[in-house]
Amino acid sequence: MAHHKSALKRIRSTQAKRLRNRYQAKTTRTFIKKLKNTQDKAEAQELLKTVTSMLDKLAKKNVIHKNKAANNKSKLARHVATL
């Protein structure tokens, strides 16, 4: 167990960041599933904009790797194009 005040604070702040990152990543995954299940092209295009933005934010904050974000965006754009 940590004994220094700074170490205890680091534990608290790391836990808060971890929860925030997990929440944002899970929300993004939910939106991706919603986009994949959408059959309406107009609705899918709007969702694609939202999901792309979410993926970019996660990659910027290093929650996910930038290449993973790029791969996801590419696959989703192809999916929307085929509708």
The confidence score (pLDDT) of residue 1 equals 75
Tens of each residue's pLDDT in the chain, 83 residues: 788 999 999 999 999 999 999 999 999 999 999 999 999 999 999 999 999 999 999 999 999 999 999 999 999 999 999 99
> Which of 76, 11, 7 is CA-nearest to residue 44?
76
From CA 17, how far away is CA 25, in angstroms rounded? Answer: 12
Structural domain boundaries in the chain: 31-83
Cβ neighbours for 44, distance < 8 A, ≥ 6 positions apart? 35, 38, 79, 80, 83
Number of other CB atoms surrounding residue 11 within 10 Å: 12
Is 43:83 a contact under the CB 8 Å cutoff? no
pTM for the full model?
0.87
